[in-house]
Amino acid sequence: MSTAPVIAAVDGSDDSLRALDWAVAAARQRDATLRVVHVRQYAAWGQPDVLVAGEPDEGGDPVLDEVHDRLRTAAGLTVEYVALEGAPSALLPQLGVDAQLLVLGSRGRGGFAGLLLGSNGMAAARDAECPVVVVPRPGREIQEELPAEPGPRVVVGLDVDSPDDATLAFAFAEAVWRGARLQVIAAYPWPAQGWAAAGGLVPPAVDQHEIEQETRTLSEGFLAPYLKDNPNVGTDVLALPGGAAGLLVAASKDAALVVVGRHRRRLLAPARMMGSVTHAVLLHAGAPVAVVPPSPPQQ
């Protein structure tokens, strides 16, 4: 079991306090230290100026003082309080270097009212070394929903063309900790279309049932080692036509967590990338979203 802390980024906003509550539960599940961090936006960048195991300095940081009061009755939980000065979009991703999880709200105090996801959350989800969980505001309206078994549920997206072990391992671990079913969403494009020599569209050479079965078979093959290691996790594989982002958002209704992967770096695009599916899920999902860094490339 990892001894790294679960980090909750707070700024006093309601969004960050919801994220704090989520992080408290996650730290308890993992038997981990909870590290509460407030980045005070005074300088371009900075270093920690407060690190106290147990409680913050009296009156040193009003935001951390508020959190301390909120967690006063959180018995059995080890809490550290950290105050930083600098640019949150630069400092928050750095916190993931020695954390097992970074949790933050969808928007903080400085966000524009019309944004569903603030720039700090976007930067952390894109750049942090650890998985980042973004907790949305309640009441996001989900127009469509997918059928699901009753009870707690973790949703994970599976790209059969490029499956990622880190994403699947994180999703199974979350299902174990929560005693939840795992709902695996494997999207395939339909209608499938090809191009004629003259540039026109031609009907697909295979039927939809064939593509769906192939998608399901590939998914089950990728999942097999995880199912073997986690025999008590009930798993539902949904091979569905359409865009992965829309399907994952639909599956997010009443889910405990949605797990998505982050793009791998590529030779011609070495910068870290969020990916359009992950970006859309962060913006529109009705459940907390975990963005998992990709597995390191095999040597």
pLDDT band at 122 (very low <50, low <70, confident <90, very high): confident
Q: What is the pTM of this model?
A: 0.86
pLDDT at 278 over 80: yes
Q: Hey, what domains does the chain have and what are their CATH numbers?
A: 6-135 (3.40.50.620), 153-292 (3.40.50.12370)
pLDDT band at 298 (very low <50, low <70, confident <90, very high): low
pLDDT band at 207 (very low <50, low <70, confident <90, very high): confident
How many other CB atoms sit within 10 Å of the CB of residue 199?
Answer: 6
Q: 96-110, 113-127, 258-272: lowest mean pLDDT where?
A: 258-272
> For residue range 59-90, what is the model confidence (pLDDT) as tens digits?
578 999 999 999 988 878 999 999 998 888 88
pLDDT at 56: 53
pLDDT band at 116 (very low <50, low <70, confident <90, very high): very low
Largest CA distance in the chain: 75
Q: Where are the beta strands (DSSP E) in the chain?
A: 6-9, 34-40, 48-53, 79-85, 101-105, 132-135, 153-157, 181-188, 194-195, 201-202, 235-241, 257-261, 289-292
> For residue range 168-205, what is the model confidence (pLDDT) as tens digits?
999 999 999 999 999 999 999 877 655 555 555 556 56
pLDDT at 110 over 60: no
The residue ranking higher by pLDDT, 241 or 3, is 241
pLDDT at 141: 83
Strand 194-195 versus strand 201-202 pairing type: antiparallel
pLDDT at 51 over 80: no
pLDDT at 185: 97
